Amino acid sequence: MEEAELDYLLSERVMGHKLPFPRYGQGASLGKKTIRLEDIALPFDPSIV
């Protein structure tokens, strides 16, 4: 997650940690979060389902 430069708040949420403030309206925009999550996403082959 550090290599993908995830912001602190997003990495804490991905790891399931509780945050001491409201979830919404804080941190990176949805667009930036999407880009960062795509950076760490594992490849998926839908044909195996």
Nearest-angstrom CA–CA distance, 47 and 49: 6
* H runs (alpha helix) in the chain: 8-14, 30-40
- Each residue of 4-49: pLDDT tens digit? 666 777 777 777 777 776 666 667 788 888 998 898 999 999 899 8
Domain segments of the chain as ranges:
8-41
Residues 9 and 29: beta-carbon distance below 8 Å: no
pLDDT bin (cut points 50, 70, 90) of residue 1 is: low
What's the pTM?
0.39
Residue 31 half-sphere exposure, CB side, CA atoms within 13 Å? 0
pLDDT at 33: 85
Specify the pLDDT at position 45.
92
